[in-house]
Amino acid sequence: MLTSLDPVVVAQMALGAIADIAFAVVLGTALLGFGAQRRAMALRIATTIWLVIECVYIVSEASQMAGQPLWAAWPLVPVVLRTTHFGRMWLLGIGAGLVVFGIACSFERGQSSGGVRRWWIVLACAVIAFAHAGTTHAADAGDFSLAECVHAVHLWTTAAWGGVVIAAAWPLRRTFRPWSSETLDHLHRVSLIATLTFAIAIATGAANAWRGLGGSLAPLSTSLWGELLTAKLIVVCAAVLIGAINRLAHLSRRHSIDRPTLDVFMRLLSFEAVLMVAVFAAASILGHSMPAAVG
C-alpha cells in the first residue's frame, strides 16, 4: 500500500472497487429472498466477476511485493500463496468464493433461489469478508484481533447494505414489475435489510475510522487519508439521506403504495445504488492508502 500513484496500486484500487461491488451484489442478492431465475443469474455473473478479479489481483500483489512488472509476476504467485499471510487469506477467500459459485450454479432454471442454500452463500460471504479483512492494516495486530474482527463485520455489513440496494435497483429490478401483491413485501424486505445492516456498518465504520485516524480528528484535515475519508463520508451521508427520504416518503404506510409511487421509489433507489457504487470506490481507494495512524 503506497501513498504515491504507483500504476500497480492504481490498478489494485480499480480492481478492488469492482471486486467489492461484485461481492456486494452476491451478498445482497442472496439476502433478498426473491427473484428466482434473475436472482440465480445475478449470483452466477457477480461471483464469476469476483473470482476473475481476485485471480488478477493476486498477480498484481505478487508484482508489488517483488517489485516486478505484472507480466513477470506470474511465477511468483505460488510463492506468495505459500509463504505470506496475504496469500493464505487469499486462498481462504477464494475457497469461499468457489463455494458460492458452486451453490449458484446448482440452482436450476425456473427454480426459486431460496431455502437453505442461500444462507450457505451468506455464510461463505462472511468468510470472504474475514479473509479480506485479514489482508488489510486491521490485521496488523494479528488474526482474530479486535480490529480485524470489527473490520470483517464492517466489510460484511457494508456489502449487505449496498448489495441489497444495488441488487434491487438493477439486476432484480424487473422483479417489481408487473405489480403484484408480493411487490410491497419485497420493497419492505429491501428496506429492512438495508436499515439493519446500515446501522452496524456505520458503527463499525466509525471504529475503523477512529483507529485509522490514530484516535484524533486532526488528521481529517491534515492528511491525505483523512481527506479521502471525509470525501467518503460525504457520499455515505448522501446515500443515507436519499435512502431515508425514499423509505419514509413511500414505505411509511404498510399497505398503501401504487404504481406511480413505485416508479418514484425505484428511481430514487437507482440513485442510491449509484451512490453506493461511489462508496465502494472510495473505500477501495482508502484501503490502498496509508492510514493517518500509520503514515
The packing angle between helices 183-212 and 224-250, to 10°, is 160
Which cell is 182 given? Answer: 408480493
Distance CA(266)–CA(141), nearest Å, equals: 43
pLDDT value of position 114: 60
Of 177 and 224, the one with more pLDDT: 224
Distance CA(40)–CA(110), nearest Å, equals: 9
Q: Are 275 and 242 in contact (CB under 8 A)?
A: yes
Q: ∠ CA(16), CA(19), CA(20), 5° rounding? A: 85
Of 230 and 112, the one with more pLDDT: 230
Q: Are 252 and 184 in contact (CB under 8 A)?
A: no
Distance from the first to the final alpha carbon of the chain:
11
The shares of helix, strand and coil residues in the chain, as percent rounded to the nearest 5, are 80, 0, 20
Q: Quick one: residue 182, left, alpha or beta (phi over 0 = left, psi -120 to 50 = alpha)?
A: alpha
The residue among 26, 22, 23, 24 whose CA lies nearest residue 40 is 26
In the predicted structure, residue 2 carries a pLDDT above the cut 50: no
pLDDT band at 159 (very low <50, low <70, confident <90, very high): very high
pLDDT value of position 254: 56
Q: What is the mean pLDDT of residues 118-139?
A: 96
In the predicted structure, residue 179 carries a pLDDT above the cut 80: no
In the predicted structure, residue 293 carries a pLDDT above the cut 80: no
Q: At residue 29, what is the residue type? A: T
Q: What is the mean pLDDT of residues 149-154?
A: 98
Q: Are 50 and 19 in contact (CB under 8 A)?
A: yes
pLDDT value of position 115: 76
pLDDT value of position 177: 75
pTM attached to this predicted model: 0.94
The packing angle between helices 259-287 and 183-212, to 10°, is 20
Other Cβ atoms within 10 Å of 120 Cβ, number: 15
CA dihedral (167, 171, 173, 175) in degrees, to 10, reads -100
Of 164 and 115, the one with more pLDDT: 164
Distance CA(165)–CA(157), nearest Å, equals: 12
Which cell is 81 given? Answer: 500463496
Q: Which helix (H) or strand (E) holds 187?
A: helix 183-212
Q: What is the mean pLDDT of residues 216-237?
A: 94
The residue among 3, 295, 292, 287 whose CA lies nearest residue 139 is 287
In the predicted structure, residue 259 carries a pLDDT above the cut 90: no
Which stretches of 213-258 are DSSP H helices? 219-222, 224-250
The residue written with cell numbers 408487473 in the block is 178
The residue among 151, 236, 150, 160 whose CA lies nearest residue 192 is 160
pLDDT value of position 109: 54
Biggest CA–CA distance in the chain, Å, is 61
Q: Mind listing the pLDDT tens digit for each residue in 184-207? A: 888 989 999 999 999 999 999 999
Q: What is the mean pLDDT of residues 153-159?
A: 98
pLDDT band at 153 (very low <50, low <70, confident <90, very high): very high
pLDDT value of position 223: 92
Average pLDDT of the chain is: 91
